[in-house]
Amino acid sequence: MIKVFIDGSAGTTGLKIVERMEKREDVLLLSISEDKRKDPLAKKEILNQADVVFLCLPDEAAKESVSLIDNPSTVVIDTSTAHRTNPDWVYGLLELGDEVYESVKSKKRICVPGCHASGFIALVNPLIESGLVPKDYPFSCTSLTGYSGGGKAMIADYEDIDRDPSLSLPRIYALGQEHKHLKEMKHFTKISNFPSFTPIVLDIYSMMCVIVNIEQEGLEYKKTLDVFKKKYEGRPLIKVEGNEEVFSQTFLPTDLMKNKDSMVIKIGGKDGRISLMALYDNLGKGASGAALQCFNVLTGCDETSSLNI
């Protein structure tokens, strides 16, 4: 039995992980009484008892929990932003390459990628890695997300029976171009500059659609599609589709992958003008699903165990 402690189990991501773990026969969930949750000694004891700790906490609280762990065998999977660009931690976007799988299997500190960042990196990394697009290309990204990504406070606002009528409309946020996911978006694509980023929250509990449009003379559509299909070939949680699938319907639903733990990348357009779209769920492949995918790999389980693909 794998002893698991979920620190922050009452939060949106934590609840999703608890829900999956309770159904597994290979996991023993450790718990701490509510009155002891803020007791450093009690917290330290249970953190060090666990084989695997999931951190579903704000950044500073995640750092504090990590500082309490001195058991060299305890593996930490952190869903916060706190350690994502720290070179001592593994960035758990497994589809970036086989070396990430090997690192997740062998390292003790793993970060779950940010929800917006997961899509952007999945779309841009193959372009840069293959040389199809230069690192200094002026990338611009639009990302549509469900309101659950804003945590309990935003969920309460959206689900309030007397809510502000404006919440029924799409709302743009992070207008200062300082969104906390920008660092990892730049770092793990190796682009020269931060992308221009426009996140938009919708009146839907969970979903995600990240869009990157590329306009570049000489960029061939078929070659681009082939690069993506080769990059994600054999990856069970990412599927790549081209114009045939994109144009099979007049409109593309942005919540196509709602409640799933996988991602579909749709590549539409023509030579010189290509639209890249990553569709997934902000609580699935964008959070709890990605955390469980890492857990499965590091524990030697089937990569898709407990996941909805």
The set of catalytic residues is: 115
One-letter-per-residue 3-state SS of the chain: CEEEEEECCCCHHHHHHHHHHCCCCCEEEECCCHHHCCCHHHHHHHHHHCCEEEECCCHHHHHHHHHCCCCCCCEEEECCCCCCCCCCCEECCHHHCHHHHHHHHHCCEEECCCHHHHHHHHHHHHHHHHCCCCCCCCCEEEEEEEHHHHHHHHHHHHHCCCCCHHHHCCEECCCCCCCCCHHHHHHCCCCCCCCEEEEEEECCCCCEEEEEEEECCCCCHHHHHHHHHHHCCCCCCEEEECHHHHCCCCCCCCCCCCCCCCEEEEEEEECCEEEEEEEECCCHHHHHHHHHHHHHHHCCCCCCCCCCC
